Structure 1
Amino acid sequence: MRIAATVQDSIVDGPGFRFTVFVQGCTHRCPGCHNPETHDAAGGSEHPVEELAERMLSNPLTDGLTLSGGEPFEQPEECLMLARAAHENGLNVWSYSGYTYEQLLQGTPAQQALLRELDVLVDGPFLLEQRTLSLPWRGSRNQRVISIPESMAAGRAVLRQP
């Protein structure tokens, strides 16, 4: 898996202590992105998913996994394996994506599988003109914090309640 970095105890990428993986590579290239160093798909470094899973599980205080970027849905197979490892060990899984929930429902089979493995998706591109520091877990007002299990059951995007 090509990544830019990990953070062991993030408290800003979802609730509780999160193991956050910043994947490398993003074709959205949103103006004003706070991680522009993750855009180049050839940047970062390769790490086996098993190594990342071991690091994720090394802290018994970890509440969940957050896939950030870069764009996790541009490495859906590897992100899916890591998300499954998190779920198998009782952790919740969040992901950020520049794609919308609706776009991912129409994505590749691997993207759809990753989407179904999530508990929460923060969707949509970062829009500089809608930048905000007042909304939890998102950078611009257009982005939504979506409960994936509820959305799959309802057949439409259902926003996560705080």
Structure 2
Amino acid sequence: MLSIIDIIEDTTVDGPGFRTAIYAAGCPNQCPGCHNPESWDINKGKPVSTGEILEKVLADDFANVTFSGGDPMFQPEGFTELARAIKEKSRKNIWCYTGYKFENILNNPKQAQLLKYIDVLVDGKFQQSLRDESLLFRGSSNQRLIDVKASLREEKVVCLNYNPYL
């Protein structure tokens, strides 16, 4: 079971193209200026089985997947189970937003398991003083779009150079 605030289908704001966004409840960061402060309290979410979420994700043939919140890394076991099932049953890519830094996630065995199934990680706490509305798919300039597979392979952060205009 995961504590979920909402599931939004066919969104275009949490990664490229149409996506099914799963908004986790619970976030220890509580960043000032957060766009989703109602998600901070894990008890504000409703319990949803990974099977039920998987059905919604797989029902949309065209949409990829985004884990957001709150912070999915606050519920790493459940999101790992969900991400593994998505990868086993589809070719969907998965983006994950987290306030945790990639380097710290690697040192947390439960969170590091989730990385195996994530394609792009948007890491770092939102910082109001670094807010930049011109950035694609992130709120502040300290946040990175990380190519997780390349980063794990090269054992260092490899940022994704995403430019939809090329």
TM-score range, shorter chain: over 0.9
The Cα of 1:65 is off from its aligned counterpart by 1.1
Contact 1:124 1:142 survives alignment (8 Å): yes
How far, CA to CA, are the matches of 1:59 and 1:21 in structure 2? 14
TM-score if structure 2 supplies the norm length? Answer: 0.94
Q: Do residues 71 (structure 1) and 71 (structure 2) align? A: yes
The Cα of 1:55 is off from its aligned counterpart by 0.6
How far, CA to CA, are the matches of 2:15 and 2:138 in structure 1? 10
Q: Do residues 124 (structure 1) and 112 (structure 2) align? A: no
The Cα of 1:85 is off from its aligned counterpart by 2.0
- The alignment covers a number of residue pairs equal to 160
Contact 1:2 1:45 survives alignment (8 Å): yes
How far, CA to CA, are the matches of 1:143 and 1:73 in structure 2? 16
Q: Do residues 94 (structure 1) and 95 (structure 2) align? A: yes
TM alignment of 1:3-14, pairs within 5 A: 3-14=4-15
TM-score if structure 1 supplies the norm length? Answer: 0.96
SS in 1 for 2:43: coil
Counterpart for residue 142 of structure 2: 142
The Cα of 1:77 is off from its aligned counterpart by 0.9
The Cα of 1:144 is off from its aligned counterpart by 0.2
CA RMSD in angstroms comes to 0.8
The Cα of 1:161 is off from its aligned counterpart by 1.8
What are the superposed Cα offsets for residues 130-154 of structure 1, whole Å, 9 maximum, x if unpaired? 0111010100000000000100111
The answer for unaligned runs of 5 or more in structure 1 is: none
Q: Amino acid of the residue matched to residue 85 of structure 1?
A: A
Determine what percentage of the aligned residue pairs are the same residue. Answer: 42
How far, CA to CA, are the matches of 2:5 and 2:84 in structure 1? 21
SS in 2 for 1:117: coil
Segments of 4+ moved more than 3 angstroms: none
Q: Amino acid of the residue matched to residue 29 of structure 2?
A: H
How far, CA to CA, are the matches of 1:82 and 1:151 in structure 2? 22
Contact 1:65 1:83 survives alignment (8 Å): no
Counterpart for residue 82 of structure 2: 82
The Cα of 1:24 is off from its aligned counterpart by 0.2
Counterpart for residue 27 of structure 1: 28
The answer for unaligned runs of 5 or more in structure 2 is: none
Counterpart for residue 51 of structure 1: 52
Q: Amino acid of the residue matched to residue 90 of structure 1?
A: R
